[in-house]
């Protein structure tokens, strides 16, 4: 791909032909504040926070403006700063000031942008209104919808449309009464929503927040165990407990996406009765054993159970290749056709 050279705030950088100004800046480690942009989605230019001044003195939206060789851009022009600050003040004007108790505190994009552009209490006094009293939708078993924290960036709407092709939510009403809604303003649990959580992980604030979320101490790379697709996951661990699951964006199978089971169905891992070691029955009681002991016992039992005494049950959680090996083992090694699959039961 051909390269172009542009200048941002006096710094000359290289960018791929076809990039937007915002993409070029981000690729070179330069920060341009924005709220509605996400790398997984098409640029929408809704928030108007990422404005910059071009070399022809025009104000442009950097997430929609393609780069051109030799262009000169200013992100700190006084006019740009004033437009950006006024825009963010209007967004923050009816936003709850509960940052310390908010689920997104410390990782809220609005918080970062407001700090960057220099929002002050004095500046907000011109616009400050009452926070909209819209009841929190707690109908979904995995996440809550708090409209009072929504900044109408549209990331959730576009995620549901462009990535999931579900269209469970969209804009409703007009003007200052606008909000993100399901069809007929039904609770999210009664809509077409599949609870995949893709909108939740992309929400720049806490308008969409997982229930009972805890900040993990560390993350461990793993593979989802629910089916044979092999989606990569990042398990958030706190002490000896898994407290969150995120999609692994580096995994070529799912590229960060997860279904409802993979994202929210992890609590069985922490169950106190979950087996952690093999158990072997001795004298009528199950006792802990090593893997070598367990495998030797299974091999001994299998060798004495060839023919129609043996039966195998395959699983939907393993790959097609593994299921093929199970049926091959059952027929060729154990000498029987007694094999079935859990998906048929």
Quick: pLDDT tens for 250-290.
Answer: 999 999 999 999 999 999 999 998 888 999 998 889 999 99
Per-residue pLDDT at 125: 79
3-class DSSP state of 181 = strand
pTM to 2 decimal places: 0.85
The yes-or-no verdict on residue 344 having pLDDT over 70 is no
291 in the same domain as 310: yes
Residue that has been written with the tokens 């404005």 in this structure: 51
- With vertex at residue 252, the alpha carbon angle to CA 251 and CA 255, rounded to the nearest 5 degrees, is 65
The answer to whether residues 143 and 242 belong to one domain is no
Q: How sure is the predictor about 128, in pLDDT bands with cuts at 50, 70 and 90?
A: low
Side-chain-side CA neighbours of 193 within 13 Å: the count stands at 29
pLDDT higher than 90, residue 292: yes
Task: Give the tens place of pLDDT for each residue, 294-308.
Answer: 999 999 999 888 999
pLDDT for residue 345 is more than 80: no
Check whether residue 58 and residue 141 sit in a common domain. no
What's the token pair of residue 207? Answer: 């308008």
| Full residue range of the structural domain in which residue 255 is found | 218-270
Q: Are residue 87 and residue 112 in the same domain, yes or no? A: yes
Q: What is the CATH number of the domain that holds 265?
A: 2.20.25.90
Residues 62, 86 within the same domain: yes
Q: Are 60 and 158 in a shared domain?
A: no
Distance CA 156, CA 89 (A): 22
The DSSP call for residue 163 is I
112 with 80, same domain: the answer is: yes
What is the sign, positive or negative, of the torsion defined by CA atoms of 95, 101, 102, 105? Answer: positive
Share of the chain above pLDDT 90, in %: 77
Tell me the angle at which helices 78-92 and 109-117 cross, rounded to the nearest 10 degrees.
140
Last residue of a domain, one of 92, 107, 126: 126
Task: Please tell me whether residues 175 and 115 are part of one structural domain.
Answer: no
**pLDDT-wise least confident of 20-24, 103-107, 186-190, 191-195:** 103-107
Which of 31, 41, 26, 28 shows the shortest CA–CA distance to 256?
Answer: 41
184-233 pLDDT, tens digit per residue, is 999 999 999 999 999 999 999 999 999 988 999 999 999 998 888 889 99
**Could you report the per-residue pLDDT of 166-190, keeping only the tens digit for each?**
999 999 998 888 999 999 999 999 9
Q: C-alpha distances in angstroms, 215 versus 18, 133, 276?
A: 38, 28, 25
Residues 3 and 117 in one domain: yes
Q: Identify the domain boundary among 61, 93, 126.
A: 126
More confident residue, 40 or 342: 40
Q: In this structure, are 34 and 112 located in the same domain?
A: yes
- Do both 189 and 141 map to the same domain? yes
State the CATH number of the domain containing residue 202.
3.30.70.20
Residue with tokens 């000896």: 240
Give the percent of the chain with pLDDT over 70.
Answer: 99
Rounded average pLDDT over 18-39: 96
Question: 93 pLDDT exceeds 90?
Answer: no
Report which DSSP code applies to 259. Answer: -
Same domain, 100 and 175: no
Total domain count, the chain: 4
Beta strands 312-314; 339-341: pairing state: parallel
């Amino acid at each position: 791909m051909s390269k172009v050279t542009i200048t941002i705030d006096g710094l000359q950088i290289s960018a791929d032909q076809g990039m937007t100004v915002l993409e070029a800046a981000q690729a070179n480690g330069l920060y341009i504040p924005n709220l509605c942009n996400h790398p997984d989605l098409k640029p929408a230019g809704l928030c108007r926070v990422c404005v910059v001044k071009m070399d022809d003195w025009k104000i442009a939206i950097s997430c929609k403006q393609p780069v051109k060789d030799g262009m000169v851009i200013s992100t700190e022009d006084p006019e740009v700063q004033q437009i950006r600050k006024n825009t963010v003040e209007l967004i923050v004007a009816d936003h709850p000031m509960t940052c310390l108790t908010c689920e997104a505190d410390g990782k809220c994009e609005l918080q970062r942008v407001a700090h960057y552009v220099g929002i002050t209490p004095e500046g907000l006094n011109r616009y400050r209104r009452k926070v909209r009293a819209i009841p929190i939708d707690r109908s979904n078993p995995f996440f809550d919808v708090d409209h009072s924290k929504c900044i109408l960036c549209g990331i959730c709407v576009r995620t549901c449309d462009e990535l999931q092709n579900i269209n469970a939510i969209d804009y409703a009403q007009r003007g200052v009464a606008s909000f993100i809604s399901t069809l007929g303003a039904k609770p999210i649990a009664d809509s077409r929503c599949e609870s995949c959580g893709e909108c939740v992980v992309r929400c720049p604030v806490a308008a969409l927040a997982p229930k009972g979320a805890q900040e993990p101490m560390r993350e461990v790379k793993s593979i989802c165990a629910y089916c044979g697709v092999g989606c990569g996951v990042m398990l958030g661990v706190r002490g000896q407990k898994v407290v969150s699951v995120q999609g692994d964006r580096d995994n070529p199978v799912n590229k960060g996406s997860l279904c409802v089971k993979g994202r929210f169905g992890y609590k069985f891992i922490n169950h106190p009765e979950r087996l952690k070691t093999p158990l072997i029955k001795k004298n009528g009681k199950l006792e802990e054993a090593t893997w070598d002991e367990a495998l030797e016992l299974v091999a001994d039992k299998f060798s004495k159970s060839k023919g129609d005494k043996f039966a195998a049950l395959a699983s939907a959680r393993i790959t097609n290749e593994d299921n093929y090996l199970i049926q091959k083992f059952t027929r060729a090694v154990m000498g029987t056709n007694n094999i079935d699959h859990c998906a048929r039961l």
